[in-house]
Amino acid sequence: MIVYDLKCTGGHAFEGWFEDRKAYEAQSRKELIACPVCGDTSVAVVPSKVSIKGGPTCSENKDFKAEERAAIKKTMEFLENNFEDVGANFAREALKMHYDVTEKRNIRGTSTEAEEEILRQEDIKFFKLPIPRLDS
């Protein structure tokens, strides 16, 4: 999940929550994002006044070489194309597949430490992959 500060052409500022940058871009192209004040669908992402520091991004980490950036991008593309993004429902979906409630498939998403402990107790194998963000 990503939060963007948005502004319409009328100057009204508001925030929007999106699954990822692609989701924002797709909704913006289809004019599905509307200003809550005036209804204007011509909105743009503006710099945020608040920032929560996460892990290093590629632009912040000068140690990343071009080959490493390419490898990260290729890995992310593979994950996006071959794994269903279940977001914060990762543990729930993994448990449902484990108990044959739903069809087994490749999934990716997020989980809490408590959820990860439950998955370990249920002997469900998963892999945490920390990948620096390429779009900051």
Flag whether 53 is in a domain.
no
73 and 117 housed in the same domain = yes
pLDDT greater than 90 at residue 122:
yes
Between CA 71 and CA 89 the distance in angstroms is: 27
Flag whether 113 is in a domain.
yes
Flag whether 133 is in a domain.
no
39 and 83 housed in the same domain = no
So what's the pLDDT on residue 50? 56
So what's the pLDDT on residue 101? 94
- pTM for this prediction: 0.51
pLDDT greater than 80 at residue 73:
yes
Residues 18-45: tens digit of each pLDDT: 888 888 889 989 999 999 999 999 988 8
CB atoms within 10 A of CB 94: 23
